[in-house]
Amino acid sequence: MKKIIYSISSALLLTTGLMSCGITTTEEVINPNNPSLSSVTSNATKGQLDALAIGQIGRARDGVDTYHQVVGSAGKELFNFNSTENRWMTELNGTKPLDNSNFYNGATTAFGPAVRQANTLIAAIANTKSVTAQEASAYQGLANTFKGLAYLYQLNVQYTNGVRLNVEDPLKPSKFATYDESLVGIKKFLDDGAAQLDAAGAAFPFAMPATYAGFNTPATFKKFNRAIALRVAIYQKDWTTAAALLPQTFLSETGSLATGPAHSFNPTNPDVANPMINTSSVRIVGLEKLWNDAEAGDLRLANKVKVVSPSISFTNGVVYATKYLANMYNSASSPVPIIRNEELVLIAAEVAAQQGKTADATKYINIVRKAAGLKDYAGATDQASLINAILKERVYSLWYEGHRWVDMRRYGKLGEIALPVAGMTIYDKMVRPLAEVNWDIANP
């Protein structure tokens, strides 16, 4: 492998959207996003480790646009009206067969580099004496947290196809784990990261982006780690573990529902622009029925979409029109949330409902409804009714954040999703990418 060396001015990196700190040293380090392994897996310098950490945070953003648009389309909460590629509307909605070599497989494959980056950082830490044991734990905790997150994105798309949990040696990857095995493996990555963050001291030895404010120390970043572990727990239907995790997250009944770490973007080099903004050729739209069915006065409608007149139409392979245009990201530097307090509040409601704690479930539902300008929940309080109410709140609170498809699937309700166009279908997973299929054929 050719050794790639970059002379990186930390001051430049740290004044873009990715970072915001005043470090002014300059040294030769590896490309933080595509490191030559031999240059860092033995005696990496502190500067190299910092660059790898920066690259890890940057890599965590890769694929978020494709992921959110694929799972949003699969769950029929949004469509990508793409004027140059009608397969967003045809293949992803079942009017034509899925293609396992197509662009939308990026919802799976784009998170592979984040896993690779984490493995590189972990390997580098294991073979250097340039940092203390406490500092080493900080790098490891960061890496394992983002490794678990990347794998969870992949698994959400692949579902029963599973994921390869061991790719440390890219020429000898593990076989695909089952869905349940994959969740167990992801949980371990996150638990390892949490333990490492506990041993990481009071401060990170590297800078964090401004969009991680409130989550930029080992202790506060661990709350983010535990929030992702909480997602895993509810996917496992492990309500006891989920209840135990809730107080370890950044759940707040009185705090802003928008609180949470976010991916940062900046169109100025060497950073990148937010890839989820609408453009002249890509327009993310909300489905008519979904938003028409929102309760009168629901503030989430205005916060998520804007009503346009005349309606926006798509006619290439599929004919569909809607008056709802996504309005969440209007700037090339708009941050993209990873997980927010609003999701944690709704998870708390779900856990309470699953444990028969009706009063707590309705309390958490009403926190979200109040913020949306709605009256308190007045429906039935049996478990099934509460879960349906929570799923409904999640539709509007977490729209375009990658949840409806997963939520309906984990409750066996995919068949309840309304099909907006005759001939469309609801998939339970995306196809396994062709490269993975070919690898297993060549390496039985």
Domain boundaries, the chain: 7-62+111-277, 282-326
DSSP-derived 3-state class of residue 29? strand
In 3D space, the residue among 421, 315, 425 whose CA is nearest the CA of residue 94 turns out to be: 425
How high is the pLDDT of residue 121?
97
Residue given tokens 């704690």 in the structure block: 357
Q: What is the pTM of this model?
A: 0.92
How high is the pLDDT of residue 297?
96
How high is the pLDDT of residue 3?
34
Asked if the 7-62+111-277 domain carries CATH number 1.25.40, the reply is: yes
Instruction: Tell me how many helices (H) and strands (E) the chain has.
Output: 17, 8
How high is the pLDDT of residue 161?
98
Q: Which residues of the chain have pLDDT under 70?
A: 1-38
How high is the pLDDT of residue 27?
42
How high is the pLDDT of residue 32?
52
How high is the pLDDT of residue 12?
27
Residue given tokens 């727990």 in the structure block: 233
CA–CA distance from 369 to each of 192, 257, 294, 334, 375 (Å)? 36, 11, 12, 25, 7
Task: Return d(Cα 413, Cα 392) in angstroms, integer.
Answer: 12
Q: Is the peptide bond before 310 cis (omega within 30 degrees of 0)?
A: yes
DSSP-derived 3-state class of residue 245? helix
Secondary structure element (H or E) that encloses residue 313, with its range: strand 305-314
